[in-house]
Amino acid sequence: MESPLVTIITVVYNGEDYIEQAITSVLEQSYANIEYIVVDGLSTDNTMVIVNKYKDRIQKVISEKDKGISDAFNKGIMHATGKIIGILNADDWYEKDTVEKVVREMGDADIVYGDLRLWKNNTFDTIFCGNHDYLKKEMSVNHPTVFIKKHCYEKFGVFNLTYKYAMDYELLLRFMFKGCTYKYIPSVLANMRWAGASDKNWYDAVKEVKKIKGIYLSDKKIFHQLYFIKQAFAISTAKLLQMSGLNRVVKFYRSRFSPIKKKYTD
């Protein structure tokens, strides 16, 4: 099997609680040819103390003020020398064989992605199954599982600093419209804790998605507005049911009727 260099980028700001798990999940990969880049936004907690524990095994550490998450992503991409690039946030972590699977399965595809295991309060909650066929409707690809060939960034650009929550959706939709090819790996590639920036600010994230769809799918603006209303209603209803102790209702709907499949333990 060919062993191309794979660059992993971790961006962090005040991530002392979980950054070590993210780092070790990269350093303990079963695949050896990895370039690791950590981009810190001048954390004021113990993040850099933890990062420096592993500095001999991290190829590049950048610690400076940035303009937000997209800017931090772009700094990492600018310094990446790998043929394939993956981005892992500070509170996420990979499965041990993730990079090995990506390299084995990527082939001629420009972008590969897989399933995402979600955790709530350190307890397994859901497996979110990606599906790029729905990308024109919503963010149906799990960004922590995404690996993109570097030439896509070189040809079609990096993350748009305009977006604070849906920057990954804009990038993936842009790449799709530019003709990049996607491949799904039916396996859990990454783990993520609930309550990230886009989850806490879900309404703003959904608004950004509507704006992005209006740019790339401008001939269907009325459908984007209706889908925005549907999404806002669905998410707010799910949160209300969960707060009322009716999480089983939410799980039943998402596992049986949602077009983007979720798998639960019960």
The tens place of each residue's pLDDT in the chain, 266 residues long, gives: 679 999 999 999 999 999 999 999 999 999 999 999 999 999 999 999 999 999 999 999 999 999 999 999 999 999 999 999 999 999 999 999 999 999 999 999 999 999 999 998 888 888 999 999 989 888 899 999 999 999 999 999 999 999 999 999 999 999 999 999 999 999 999 999 875 444 557 678 878 888 888 888 766 555 555 555 555 545 555 555 445 555 554 454 455 445 555 554 44
* Number of domain units in the chain: 1
Q: Is residue 257 included in any domain, yes or no?
A: no
In-domain check, residue 55: yes
DSSP state of 219: G
pTM score, whole prediction: 0.84
Q: Is 203 inside any structural domain?
A: no
**Is 223 a domain residue?**
no
In a domain, 188, yes or no: yes
From the CB of residue 72, how many other CB atoms can be counted at a distance below 10 Å? Answer: 24
> Distance (Å, rounded) from C-alpha 229 to C-alpha 63?
40
**CATH code at position 186:** 3.90.550.10
Given a contact cutoff of 8 angstroms between Cβ atoms, the answer to whether 81 and 5 are in contact is: yes
**For residue 31, what are its two tokens?**
């695949």
Domain limits for position 120: 6-195
Regarding beta strands 84-87 and 123-128, do their DSSP bridges make them parallel or antiparallel, or are they unpaired?
unpaired
- Asked whether residue 160 is domain-assigned, the answer is yes
Tell me, yes or no, whether 179 lies in a domain. yes
